[in-house]
A and B are shown apart, each in its own frame.
Chain A
Amino acid sequence: RKEVEQDPGPFNVPEGATVAFNCTYSNSASQSFFWYRQDCRKEPKLLMSVYSSGNEDGRFTAQLNRASQYISLLIRDSKLSDSATYLCVVTLSAKIIFGSGTRLSIRP
Chain B
Amino acid sequence: DVKVTQSSRYLVKRTGEKVFLECVQDMDHENMFWYRQDPGLGLRLIYFSYDVKMKEKGDIPEGYSVSREKKERFSLILESASTNQTSMYLCASTLGDTGRAQYFGPGTRLLVL
Query: CB within 8 Å of B: which residues of A?
Result: 31-32, 34, 42-46, 49, 87, 89, 91, 93-96, 98-101
Contacts and interface: CB of A to CB of B under 8 A. Distances in A.
Given A42-B107, A43-B90, A43-B107, A49 B101 contact: yes
B42 A44 contact: no
A42 B90 CA distance: 10
Interface of B: 33, 40-43, 45, 90, 98-107
Given A31-B99, A32-B99, A91-B99, A45 B45 contact: no
B41 A96 contact: no
Nearest to B94: A96
Contacts of A100: 40-42
Contacts of B102: 44, 46, 89, 96
Nearest to B50: A94
A73 to B, nearest CB: 15
B32 to A, nearest CB: 12
A44 B104 contact: yes
